[in-house]
Amino acid sequence: MEKQRKRVRLHDIASKAGVSVNTVSRALRDKSDVSGTTRETIVHIAKELGYILPEPITFQERSIAIGVLIQDILNPFYARVVQGIESILWQNRAKFIFQCSYRQESKERDILEFFRRQAVDGLLITSVVSPEYALSRIQQLNIPTVFLSQRFEQYDVDYVINDNFEGAFIATEHLIKLGHVRIAHIAGPDSQFSTHERLRGYQAALEQAHIPLDSPLVRFGDNTIESGYYLMKDLVQSEKPLTAVFVYNDLMSLGALRAIKEAGLRVPTDISIVGYDDIVFAEFFDVPLTTVHQPIGEIARKAAEVLLEKIRTGDEYDRQAIVLTPRLTIRSSTSVCPGQ
C-alpha cells in the first residue's frame, strides 16, 4: 500500500525559504508588500514541496464579522481607533459589531458573551478592566483576538501597541531639559498596562537626571476630564510645590488645565503640562497642548490587518507583537522652569 504523503504546511515552506509564516501566507495570496523575488522563491518552493493552495474564501462568499470592544466612546482616542479599524474592514468587505464597556467589569463580561452569541469570527479589543477573566474567556471561546494599546506578559496574545515607556520618558525628559525638577505625574487607572509603562518611563527619566522620585507627586486617575481636574486641583492645593506635570492622556490634561486656571496659576508661566495621545483637539485647547503623539490610526489599522490575517490562516499564523514608536509634539503648554 502506498505510504500516505505528509501534509505540507506553511511552516514547511517558511523554513525552507528562510522567511516567516506570515510572509509565506502573504506571498501565496499575491500581497503587494512582498517583493517579486521573494514571492517567486516562495511559490517555487511551495510547488516543489507539493503544497496545494486552497481557494480563498472571499468576503463576497461569506461575510466576516468582527467584534470591537472599546472602553469609552466619549474619548476622542477611541474615535480614532474605530475610524482606523473601520477603514481596513471596509476595504475587506468585513462587517463589525461595536460595543463599549465604559470601564464596567460586569458590562465587559456581558459584551464578551454577546460576541459569543453573535458567533463573531474575531475580536479587536482596546483594553479590559478584568484581564484575567477576559483572557481566560477568550481562550475558552477560541476566538482569534488582537489587543490594541494593551499587552499581557503572562499570556501569549497578539497585540499592537505604542511604546508607552518611551513616550513617557521623552515627555518627562522634555520637562527636565526645560529645567523642571518638581514634576508631578497624573497617572491612569492602576489596572491598565499602559498606566504602569508610562509610570516607569516617567520614573526612568527622573532617575537618569538624578532627580529623586517624590511619591506624593504621583496620583492615579481614571482617564476622564473630571479625574484630571480633581487630581490637579488636589496637587496645586497640596503642600508639595510643583512647576510641571506629565499627564496620562490629553483628556485628563484638559481637566488639569482648568484646575490650574482656577487656582490663579498660568500655563506655562507657572506650571508646564505635557499630555499623551495628541488627540485632534489638543492643538485647540486654550493653551495648545504639548503632548506625546502616538500613531493611533496606524495602531488600529495594523491591528485589523493582523486579525484578518489570523482568521484567514488559522493556527499557522505567527503571533504578532507589534510596538510602534511615539514622538513628542511640542506646543505652547511647556516652557522654561520659573526662576531659570
User: How confident is the model over 21-49, as a mean pLDDT?
Assistant: 81
Residue 31: the pLDDT is: 66
Provide the whole-model pTM.
Answer: 0.81
**Mean pLDDT of all residues belonging to the chain:** 89
CA dist list (Å): 200 to 149, 170, 172, 182, 215: 16, 12, 11, 17, 13
The SS3 call for residue 276 is strand
Q: What is the pLDDT of residues 1-13, one digit of tens each?
A: 444 446 677 888 9
Report the C-alpha gap between 200 and 165 in whole angstroms: 6
CB atoms within 10 A of CB 275: 30
Q: What is the pLDDT of residues 282-339, one digit of tens each?
A: 999 999 999 999 999 999 999 999 999 888 887 667 788 999 999 999 999 999 998 7
The SS3 call for residue 160 is strand
* Closest-CA residue to 291 (of 263, 324, 328, 265): 328
Higher pLDDT, 304 or 52: 304
The residues that bridge with 321 in the sheet, in sequence order, are: 159
The residues, ordered by sequence, that sit 6+ positions from 104 with a Cβ below 8 Å of its Cβ are 129
Q: Residue 145 is which amino acid?
A: T
Report the C-alpha gap between 81 and 70 in whole angstroms: 9
Report the C-alpha gap between 281 and 299 in whole angstroms: 19
Residue 247: the pLDDT is: 98
Q: What is the pLDDT of residues 214-230, one digit of tens each?
A: 999 999 999 899 999 99
Residue 314: the pLDDT is: 74
Report the C-alpha gap between 237 and 228 in whole angstroms: 14
Q: What is the pLDDT of residues 115-165, one digit of tens each?
A: 999 989 999 999 888 888 888 888 888 889 999 988 877 777 899 999 999
Report the C-alpha gap between 261 and 141 in whole angstroms: 50
Domains of the chain: 10-49 (no CATH), 65-162+296-325 (3.40.50.2300), 164-294 (3.40.50.2300)
